[in-house]
Structure 1
Amino acid sequence: MAKKFVYVPAPGRVIVRPLEEGEQRTTGGIVIPDSAKERPSLGEVVAVGEGRLLDNGQRAKVFVEPGMKVLYGKYSGNEFKFGGQEYLILRDDDIMAWQK
């Protein structure tokens, strides 16, 4: 039985499950290592904190919701494991794009 996800992100934070991107090769068949890739990473949103607090006392709008696929910077966020699965805690402004 899978463990129930128990983490709730702090305001302005999003928890993402990174998705496998598959091995990349050049047209000549050379495998491109992860360290040489300069593209965003893909993940699925698992949990979303409330909007971060703005200087005027209001909360920022949250644009993503659980289940959405998002692109984020390769070196963004902090990693952690839960139930044998890797996750990332990202700042909401580390997300560059999302699928509707």
Structure 2
Amino acid sequence: MSVNVKPLADRVLVEPAPAEEKTASGIIIPDSAKEKPQRGTIVAVGNGKPDEPLTVTVGDNVLYGKYSGTEISIEGKDYLIMREADIFAIV
């Protein structure tokens, strides 16, 4: 996937994973009760800071904080832009 956005410094652009539609037992979750996903895929990365190179790359699946990042919409698709420090793990 190609996005015409280049994050600056230590920021990354994340495509959030879709919210769960059902519970493990098969109960359908209404839109109003869905939790914000805390997992996503990196679609663009900045250049990093001179003394701190980025450790994530495009295509990495990551876990991030529940309230991390800023929601933005690019060409009708929703993304999060956040600092690399807001990412907890690569999965």
TM-score for the superposition, normalised by structure 2: 0.79
**Identical-residue share of aligned pairs (%):** 39
Q: CA deviation at 1:51?
A: 1.5
Contact 1:21 1:42 in 2 (8 A): no
Contact 2:23 2:29 in 1 (8 A): yes
Q: CA deviation at 1:23?
A: 2.9
Larger radius of gyration: 1
Q: Unmatched 5+ residue regions in structure 2?
A: none
Could you say what secondary structure the match of 1:60 adopts?
coil
Q: 1:86 aligns with which of 75, 78, 86?
A: 78
TM-score for the superposition, normalised by structure 1: 0.73
Aligned residues between the structures: 89
Q: Which runs of 4+ in 1 moved over 2 A?
A: 23-27, 29-35
Q: Unmatched 5+ residue regions in structure 1?
A: 53-57
